[in-house]
Amino acid sequence: MNKRWRAALLFMSLAAPFTTASAENVRVNVGIANSATDAALFVADKKGHFKAEGLDVNFIAFDSGARMIAPFASGDLDVGAGGPSAGLYNAVARGIDIRIVADKSSTPPGRPINFLLVRKDHVESGRYKTLSDLRGMKVAGAAPGGAATTTLDKLLEKAGLRIADVERVYLGFPQQAIALENKAVDAALPTEPAASEAVKRGSAVRIIGDDEIYPNHQLAAIFYAGHFIKNKPDAAKRFMRAYIKGARDYADAIVNGKLSGAKGEEMIAILTASSQIKDPEIYRAIAAANIDPDGQLGIASLKEDLAIFTKEGLIEGTVDIDKVIDTSFAEAAVRELGPYKRGDK
């Protein structure tokens, strides 16, 4: 072997560890609520978009987005997927750096994701007839100051009631279905697919969707921890690119507001494998979560939610929402991928 080849092989052997290290996946801890609005994340994972971007994504389930604040602050969570909550804004007011970076789900007319459910025995007995009959009832939501708080506020306004007219109970979405069945609560505002699961089990009646209660509500979003943006900026960009690809795969599978056809069946298979609801018929029946394929946020809705939290005395400090919202990651991903066109991959 001549000296030139020996030198080349020596260089390759020395370079190999660095090449391998650069190809290793970056670990990203992602908080999820295990709801239908996590669909784009599940799809991006199962279809290999995160892996293709060199990311090792670890999903961690929480009862709601509000429960993700502490691990964000401790550095244990890089990305969150849940409802923009009073807790998030209070954390920001205390100096914890969390950014709202992309859409996860909103509620245009015809695309509900949360529902008011009332116990079936209340409907059959006549205890519940109209929204005003919620007076005096125990109503379950996911967490204090969560996305369901503003939905409930709008609902009670529609019913001519005040917050003080109902008793709030806080439970995770799957536990709400159990509480309705056990008659521990009178009504609840679970997200899909937990809402349809409760109705299927015969414990509750679907009354009204959040697309009617609070149209175009920015119900859920993707959050980045400040440390993720600062310490892993390239991974943050790659995560968003993969997420947007997942959102577009999901959007391609929706026909007339529902998952349909071969692409729809692929999405349903992913959801039943990844979420707590294992009955594919539920996903075939429910309205598909509205997830923007370009990640665009409903900023007006976010501002309205903050105003409601403030009115209810849930905000401790001053929050400039324009400094909390950071659309640059989604915008960069769309510049690279191009604007969404149905059927694009």
CA distance 244 to 238: 10
Residue 5 is assigned to a structural domain of this protein: no
Question: pLDDT at residue 16 above 60?
Answer: no
Q: Please enumerate in sequence order all residues whose Cβ is within 8 A of that of 244, keeping only pairs 6 or more positions apart, or say none.
A: 102, 293, 294, 295, 330, 333, 334, 337
Question: pLDDT at residue 14 above 90?
Answer: no
Residue 18 is assigned to a structural domain of this protein: no
Count, residues in the chain: 345
Question: pLDDT at residue 7 above 50?
Answer: no
Write the CATH number for 52: 3.40.190.10
Domain count, the chain: 2
* Residue 297 or 69, more confident: 297
Q: Give yes or no: residues 225 and 95 share one domain.
A: yes
Residue 7 is assigned to a structural domain of this protein: no
Residue span of the structural domain in which 178 resides: 115-213
pLDDT-based confidence at residue 3 (cuts at 50, 70, 90): very low
| Mean pLDDT value of segment 251-261 | 94
Domain finish residue from 160, 193, 213: 213
Q: Using only C-alpha atoms, what is the Rg of the chain?
A: 22
Residue 344 is assigned to a structural domain of this protein: no
Residue 222 is assigned to a structural domain of this protein: yes
Q: Give yes or no: residues 316 and 331 share one domain.
A: yes
Q: Give yes or no: residues 322 and 227 share one domain.
A: yes
Average pLDDT over all residues of the chain: 89
Q: Give yes or no: residues 94 and 133 share one domain.
A: no
Which of the 8 DSSP states describes residue 25?
P
Q: Give yes or no: residues 221 and 320 share one domain.
A: yes
Using an 8 Å Cβ cutoff, are 88 and 221 in contact? no
Most confident of 4-18, 26-40, 323-337: 323-337
Domain finish residue from 195, 213, 231: 213
Residue 331 is assigned to a structural domain of this protein: yes
Global confidence as pTM: 0.84
Q: Could you report the per-residue pLDDT of 26-65, keeping only the tens digit for each?
A: 999 999 988 888 999 999 999 999 999 999 999 999 877 7
Q: What's the pLDDT score for residue 246?
A: 98
Using an 8 Å Cβ cutoff, are 309 and 145 in contact? yes
Q: Give yes or no: residues 103 and 123 share one domain.
A: no
| Mean pLDDT value of segment 202-231 | 95
Q: What's the pLDDT score for residue 45?
A: 97
Domain finish residue from 179, 197, 213: 213
Sign of the alpha-carbon dihedral angle for 40, 245, 65, 321:
negative
Residue 6 is assigned to a structural domain of this protein: no
Residue 178 is assigned to a structural domain of this protein: yes
Which of the 8 DSSP states describes residue 105?
E
C-alpha torsion angle, residues 93, 216, 78, 333 (rounded to 10): -120
Q: Give yes or no: residues 190 and 255 share one domain.
A: no
Q: What's the pLDDT score for residue 194?
A: 83
| The two three-digit tokens of residue 223, written as one number | 């959050």
Q: What's the pLDDT score for residue 24?
A: 65
